[in-house]
Every structure is written in C-alpha cells, then in structure tokens.
C-alpha cells in the first residue's frame, strides 16, 4: 500500500506493505543476552489441576514471561536509565515517526591495553556530512546473523566515542539506534560517557531523546534515508522492549 506522508512540511511516499523490522524478538529459545544475567523465562501458569497450555490439555495458553529490557533484546531507553529519578519512556516519547538515516560503520581499533574498538567521531562526520536527521540507525560490521542470538557478556563490544555522541546531540539527532548492547564500553566503571553526552544529563536534559540498542539491520537494507516508526510497549519504566520499523522512501 503506497501512502503519501507529510512530515515536517515535507511530502513523500512510502510503501506501508513493505516494513523493514529492526527488532530482535524475545524468545524462549535462542535469545540475545547481555549484562551477565540468565535468559528470559517463559513459564506456563498452573493452578491445581489447571494448566495454561492447550497442548497439555488446558483451554488457553497462559504464560508468565520474566525478562529484562536492557539484557534480552531490542529495547528503547530514555534518560531515566542513568538519572536518580526514573523518567518513564512511556511518558516522554510522545511521537513515533521520524526521518532516519542508516549508516554502516566498521569499528576502529584503539591502541590501548584493553584492545578496544571504537566508532569514532571522524567516521560519523564523514558518513553524515551535512545531514542532521531526526534519527540515526547504526549498523556495525561484521553484520553476522549471530547478533540475533549472541551472548554479549564479557565480549568487550565496540562503543561510540563520546565526542560523536556530542555531535549527534548538537546536530539535533533525537533518536539513536545501534546493533550493540550499549553505545558505551561494556566495562567503563559506570561512567557511561556516551549516554550522558547524548542526553546532556548535566545540562539541559533531553527527556524526549531516546537510545535504542540491540537492533539488527538486515544486509539487504542499503545505507540512506528512511521513515522510521519507533514502536514501544507502554511500560512505565526507564526502558521498554521496542519494535523499530523502517520504510523505504519511494522516489518518483
């Protein structure tokens, strides 16, 4: 279905029947993991002889799911993730469609004792040039499908340079999406420099800005400009499972 969209006084067309799902689903089988906790639990509810499983003779399927948004798949977070007051993502994300730029980045090695890899400010400066989208979608290479089921704990994943996060903030990027468990280094002593810089926690805090982590951008998706629908679950929490959807902007 081809739809005509007017957004920020610009009009363009997108095919709503061709969504590009960037989310990694929560599953009881092979699930991505981070931050050193166990996999999510999917538990059939029982009450005496009654069982919440049609396969086991129950009249409905009735499952309790225990999980952590930050650890078990695609999630979107607000500044409440790192502030004393737990600002709710549900209360602070008020609109859900944005013009997004997809970029692909090869992490660069840092010459330090931890053998870190970084996504540098210079890389993003060259990729974005004079563009200042509302949302930025970052795909890192290599882009193996194993990202969808990987246990990221103790892997020292690449992270975004603090100066790049400042660049994003100052250029007006409100929504940052990345295919890693965090924009920050896995073990940084709790500094979380990238998160602080993007949300400007020590300045004019940006409660309407979000970071979405643990996405997966398929190989078939080319770098470029898209319409993003950032779908979230209505959790009164600093973070929520989310389902970011891209739509290709049709050219005449």
Superfamily of domain 2-27+69-250: Putative cyclase (3.50.30.50)
In the numeric block, which tokens belong to residue 98? 């944005």
Residue 7's pLDDT band, with cuts at 50, 70 and 90, is confident
Structure tokens at 222: 């080319």
Residue 110 scores a pLDDT above 90: yes
Contact 230, 242 (CB under 8 A): yes
Q: CB under 8 Å, gap of 24 or more: what pairs does 126-129 form? A: 127/103, 127/223, 128/101, 128/103, 128/171
5-to-11, 137, 149 alpha-carbon distances in Å: 5, 21, 35
pLDDT confidence tier of residue 3, bands split at 50, 70 and 90: confident
pLDDT at 9 over 90: no
Quickly tell me which residue has 């730029």 as its tokens: 101
Percent of all residues in the chain with a pLDDT value above 70, rounded to a whole number = 100
Q: 25-48, pLDDT tens digit by residue?
A: 999 889 999 999 999 999 999 999
Give the per-residue pLDDT at 5: 86
3-state helix, strand and coil shares in percent for the chain, rounded to the nearest 5: 15, 35, 55
Q: What is the pLDDT of residues 157-212, one digit of tens each?
A: 999 999 999 999 999 999 999 999 999 999 999 999 999 999 999 999 999 999 99
- Whole-prediction pTM: 0.96
87 vs 192: CA distance, rounded Å: 17
pLDDT 10s digits, 63-72: 999 999 999 9
Domain residue limits, the chain: 2-27+69-250
How many whole angstroms separate alpha carbon 240 and alpha carbon 222?
27
* Alpha-carbon gap, residue 107 to 162, rounded angstroms: 14
């Amino acid at each position: 279905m081809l739809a005509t969209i007017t957004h920020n006084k610009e009009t363009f067309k997108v095919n709503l029947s061709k969504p590009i799902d960037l989310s990694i689903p929560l599953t009881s089988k092979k699930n991505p993991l981070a931050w050193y906790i166990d996999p999510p639990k999917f538990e059939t509810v029982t009450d005496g002889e009654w069982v919440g499983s049609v396969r086991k003779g129950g009249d409905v399927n009735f499952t309790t799911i225990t999980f952590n948004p930050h650890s078990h798949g695609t999630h979107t977070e607000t500044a409440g993730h790192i502030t004393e007051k737990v600002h709710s993502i549900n209360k602070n994300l008020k609109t859900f469609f944005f013009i997004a730029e997809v970029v692909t980045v090869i992490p660069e090695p840092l010459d330090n004792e931890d053998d870190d890899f970084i996504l540098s400010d210079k890389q993003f400066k060259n990729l974005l040039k004079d563009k200042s989208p509302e949302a930025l979608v970052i795909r890192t290479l290599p882009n193996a499908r194993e990202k969808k089921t990987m246990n990221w704990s103790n892997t020292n994943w690449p992270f975004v340079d603090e100066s790049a996060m400042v660049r994003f903030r100052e250029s007006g990027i409100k929504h940052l999406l990345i295919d890693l468990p965090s924009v920050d280094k896995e073990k940084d002593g709790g500094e979380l420099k990238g998160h602080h810089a993007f949300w400007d926690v020590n300045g004019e805090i940006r409660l309407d800005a979000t970071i979405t982590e643990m996405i997966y951008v398929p190989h078939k998706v080319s770098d470029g400009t898209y319409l993003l629908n950032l779908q979230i679950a209505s959790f009164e929490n600093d973070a929520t499972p989310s389902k970011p959807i891209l739509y290709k902007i049709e050219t005449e």
